[in-house]
Amino acid sequence: MKSISASIVILAAAVLLAGGSHVAHGQTRVFVQLVGCAAGLLGFGVWFVALQDKGESE
């Protein structure tokens, strides 16, 4: 279940990155993209940990 929630976070990060490129104001665009990158890194980290935990339990 943890890997599903992490993949949702990764999807939200992708939406932030894509949406941030359409923002007209420069500083706001950079902020939205940085938040997207941070959320993506966090999501990937949790996803890899969840996959390793799942592999050890089998």
- Specify the number of domains making up the chain: 1
CA distance 11 to 27: 23
Task: Tell me the pLDDT tens digit for each residue of 21-37.
Answer: 888 888 888 999 999 99
Q: What is the pTM of this model?
A: 0.79
Task: Tell me the pLDDT tens digit for each residue of 1-57.
Answer: 788 888 899 999 999 999 888 888 888 889 999 999 999 999 999 999 988 887 766
Which domain does 9 fall in, by range? 2-57
